[in-house]
Each structure stands twice: as structure tokens, then as C-alpha cells.
Structure 1
């Protein structure tokens, strides 16, 4: 999701704190798909190490953990941060990067895995690897070949052998159309839309149809829920200014 109008500030209440990109933690008013690349990098590291990579109690502590790994960013790498966040970072003692620590995540943290991680976990979103380039990274080559050899629907098996498509990682011709979200203005509407979508998907598939018991305790709890319990909510973004 991107906002073309730079006069309109985008919300910072996106992404669970542990997976929130540095520009969001530092009060960026505008951001793009690079925030998702950061999040996926955090999840990738978590899959390798079986623990959350940056697990802090507050956004400030989150930044500390990030700089422990990446080192203190340059002024240019903080160009998307607000003035207050930049001032805070400049007051902190300078830290050197310690990216070699990524090799200790697990025995599966190979050179190619760490290389991909290092391109995803980049402080400056402008220098972060793109989604298309990440999908084309050599680390994913073996998995990509396995997928297209027997699991995908885009390639075909014939008596003469397997016929592969020309591009194993095709890029969508158009951005995802999320205009339908403009009509969803209440939690109840979202639930109804989701319920309808699931029913429609079940109707065209061979899966067991969705059965909902409106009299069950679980359904009553779900139907009356609106927001997460206060103890489940992540910390709010730090107010830098």
C-alpha cells in the first residue's frame, strides 16, 4: 500500500512491533512495500533461529535491538525518519554492525540464507531488496525447482515429460485491487464479507463445506468481538514530536 499524496500522513499503526521496519519505528509519515520486505526478513530469521529476532517491550527498545545488529545508521539512511527520531539516534553511542551473528541462528543459516537476510534487513528502505529480486535470490532456487517439478499448477506433466513455464517467478501485471475495502466501515461488515467469501470459495472447491453453528459459545464470542483485549495489543508508536 502506498500513498501518492505526500501531504497525507499514513498511519504508523501497521505491523506487529517485533516485525516493524525502522522507518515506521522512527515516525515515517510515508512508506511503501519495503516495510513488508523487512517484516518477511524478520520472519525468515525467526524460522531459522526458532525465536523472535527483535523482541523488545517498547518501540525504543526495538530500535536498540535493530542497531545492535545493523549498527548505527548514517544520516542518509535515516532520511525517512522524523526529526525527533533522528536526534535520538544521534545522541546514542555509535555501534558497529554485527551481521555475522546471523550465522549463529541455526545450522541452516547458510551463506546464501544470510546473504538474503542481509539484503532484507537493511535500515534504509530505499536500499532494501525488492520483492521480485528477493524471489529470484539463489537461496530459493532449490525450493523453486521442487515446487515447479511436482506441486505447481502452471507447469504440465505429459507422457513426453514435464513442460515448464518460461518464468518461474512471474510478476503480477497490475497491483492488487483493494478498492472493495472502502465499503467496509464496520467490524460486522468485515465479518459478513469474510463469511460470504469463504462460502463462495467452498462452493467452487472440493473441500468440506463451511458449517457454522450460530448457537455455539464460540460463535457468540466471535460475533460479539470487536477489538483485541488490551493485554493483547502491541505498544503504540513512540511519540517523537
Structure 2
């Protein structure tokens, strides 16, 4: 293939494999017995103060979300480049606290090549002044949104590789009864080897088998929102994530948003 999306050659898809994933053994391993508390979880080693990371002077913000900003920093323990997510005002209200707790819990349990996981959750200063939490994850060079809007050519092989990895990661999440509820190009991180990881679990939750229990309607970015959510359904399934993948598939092919309306009513 003449060109890769982020700088590396992409292998042609075949019936036996789509691409060479990195060795899972090289990724941070997370086991259940490492979850010793929400505020101090030694996932990959000792807890490091956020001040230590801050003193390294982050290069640039590489992403923004509803709950914070992500910076590219250097891990002072081994010199590796990592992503540091600062989650601010995490306990300003009950809804925010629940969502942050869900995201942290999931990041520490996930272990899959196509799903982002936490390497460390950093304990801040005295608990009396706890207003923010810092999460360390693997550093990914780009995301699918940046790739789609760039002038970089996208071949059919690129589309196959990306779509395969999205579905592979979603299969892992859905097998654990996790609904992501915000699948969009900006939440699909891509590294220089074209390996893709699903990120941002701020809206994720466990599937609710009891249909009498209402689920949040204000989920999924509007352009990727499934019809049942737009119509006001209070109970839905993993199909809402698959609808989002279909929208992304069309966007990869056309390089433009498939359903783009100014308001949910028009959507």
C-alpha cells in the first residue's frame, strides 16, 4: 500500500487477519485484586503525585472532554510518553460523581487491544481538597476524527482496518454488558501503527436487563445518535453503539458526517 494514515504501512485485509496488533503482553495488565480503592489504585506501580507529572511541563493538550483535558506528558519513572487526563470538579454533583466513578472503574478493569485502559489513577493532595483526579493512559498519536478531516488519503484497506478494530473493541465491551453510549470518531484513538482504541467512558454504563428501569436519554453525540434515543426511548440496547458505528463507516467512506442536523428534532 502506498500510504498509511498516521505514518506506517497498513497490511492488506485477508480472511485470516486484518492487521498485526501489538503484543498484548506489552500492554499494562489490570487484575481485579489491584482495585484497592477509588482514590488510590496502584494499577501499574506506586502512586505518583500529579505534581511530579506537572513538573515535566506537558507539551500540549491533545484532547478535551466533558470531564477534563488530556495532556501528553513524560512518565518520570521510566521516561515513556503517556497521556494524563485531568478530571476536574468530579464531585460537584451526584450525576458527575457517578459518571466519573463508572469511567474509572471500567478503565481499571478493561484489558483489550482495542479498548483504552488505565495505567495509573493518581492520588491528589489531602482528601479535604479533593476536586480533581488524574488518570494515566497509553499515549495515542491521533484519533479518527482528525484523520477523517485531514487531507490524508484513505483507502478501502484503511477503512476495513479501522472498522474491524472498532467492532472488535465493541464486541469486547458488549460481552461484558457495557454500553459505551458515545461512539464517535473523536473517541476512537489511533496510534502510528494504525492500532485503534475506544476511549472516553464518561457516558458508559452496564446494560440494564430490567426494562422498567429508565435509562438516560441525553447520551451519544447527536450526529451518531440512534433513532430510538432520538424518539425518546427510556430503555435501549447495545444496538445504539452499532448504529454509531454505521454512521462512522459512512463517514470514513465519504469524509463527511452522514446525518448532520442543527438540532435533535431535525436529526
TM-score by length of 2: 0.23
TM-score by length of 1: 0.25
Answer with 1 or 2: which has the greater Rg: 1
